[in-house]
């Protein structure tokens, strides 16, 4: 979701003034790293996938770009990021995406290297067998076309059976819960919902090495952003065993929108999240990492 210029400025100023605090549940804060590049196209990072060892990274911006990079670590913490390759995402006709159809938000890198991206503006999920070639748009049911303009699929994940799960940011069902759409056998279904209090909105998702679905949620006010991570065990048609993994206080981090779950060298489940700077110089492209402590 994009923020208006006035709100961006208010949030950025208040973020700079607030101390970093956290109300961690199972999660232990490890560190943050700010990535800076001077190119005008850089910013707006909204989706992230890390390799199983946390050393290689794929990220997308909400202006239709995909970046591949190496993550430089010391004692497990990010010390630098080395950009290896970048590309503009393309449409089904092979042309680079422009305008409102380029608002890429959610990211999945399948085990075979196929990349899936969810988009707002024109709500859809596209498949890229090669990122420098034309995309394949997955079927768009009527429910997708009725999503709010700025409240579509920011959260996208793939389970160990290769099924995609997509969750809209601002399209709760009649009970106020988050509908989960699943792509399986070339068909979208909506088998279950995730409970919601309506305060936090889903902006990122990933399945962890433990098989659980992790959902990154965000809320904000004039004093800044708050983030929350919850997880569930997913059965065929339900989500059970909800856990609150992390909940931050206002201003702890910037605008966290993407999440990747992996296992570090100490066999801990690690949460790596990226903040969308909204292309506003007062905000930050920030990578934030937590480890789950049993």
Chain segment 243-267, per-residue pLDDT in tens: 999 999 998 999 999 999 999 999 9
- Position 1 scores a pLDDT of 52
Instruction: Choose among 42, 22, 41, 18: nearest CA to 30.
Output: 22
Mean pLDDT of 215-227: 92
Query: Is 124's pLDDT higher than 90?
Result: yes
128-184 pLDDT tens trace: 999 999 999 999 999 998 898 888 999 999 999 999 999 999 888 888 999 999 999
| Residue 292 β-bridge partners | 27
57-80 pLDDT tens trace: 999 999 999 999 999 999 999 999
Q: Structure tokens of 179?
A: 């509908």
The CATH number of residue 61's host domain is: 2.120.10
Query: Is 3's pLDDT higher than 60?
Result: no
Question: Range of 146's domain?
Answer: 5-292
Mean pLDDT of 108-129: 96
Q: Structure tokens of 292?
A: 């789950």
| pTM for the model | 0.91
Are 227 and 251 in contact by the 8 Å Cβ rule? The answer is no
Q: What's the domain count of the chain?
A: 1
- Position 2 scores a pLDDT of 52
- Position 188 scores a pLDDT of 97
Helices (H) and strands (E) in the chain, counts: 2, 20
Burial degree of 113 (CB within 10 A; 0-12, 13-18, 19+): exposed
């Amino acid at each position: 979701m994009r923020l208006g210029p006035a709100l961006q400025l208010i949030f950025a100023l208040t973020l700079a003034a607030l101390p970093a605090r956290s109300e961690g549940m199972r999660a232990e804060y490890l560190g943050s790293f700010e990535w800076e590049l001077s190119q005008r196209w850089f910013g707006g990072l909204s989706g992230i996938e890390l390799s199983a060892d946390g050393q290689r990274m794929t990220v997308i911006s909400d202006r239709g770009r995909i970046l591949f990079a190496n993550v430089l670590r010391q004692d497990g913490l990010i010390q630098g990021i080395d950009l290896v390759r970048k590309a503009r995402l393309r449409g089904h006709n092979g042309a680079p995406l422009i305008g409102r159809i380029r608002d890429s938000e959610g990211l999945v890198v399948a085990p075979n290297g196929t990349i899936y991206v969810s988009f707002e503006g024109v709500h859809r999920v596209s498949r890229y067998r090669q990122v420098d070639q034309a995309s394949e748009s997955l079927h768009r049911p009527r429910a997708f076309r009725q999503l709010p303009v700025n409240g579509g699929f920011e959260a996208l994940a793939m389970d160990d059976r290769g099924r995609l799960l997509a969750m809209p940011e601002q399209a709760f069902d009649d009970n106020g819960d988050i509908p989960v759409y699943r792509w399986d056998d070339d068909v979208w279904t909506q088998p279950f919902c995730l409970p919601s209090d309506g305060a936090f909105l889903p902006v990122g998702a990933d399945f962890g090495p433990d098989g659980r679905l992790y959902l990154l949620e965000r809320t904000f006010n004039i004093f800044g952003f708050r983030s929350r991570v919850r997880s569930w065990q997913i059965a065929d048609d339900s989500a059970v065993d909800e856990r609150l993994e992390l909940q931050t206080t206002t201003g702890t981090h910037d605008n966290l929108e993407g999440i990747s779950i992996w296992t570090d060298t100490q066999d801990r489940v690690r949460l790596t999240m990226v903040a969308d700077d909204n292309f506003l110089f007062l905000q930050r492209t920030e990578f934030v990492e937590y480890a789950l402590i049993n």
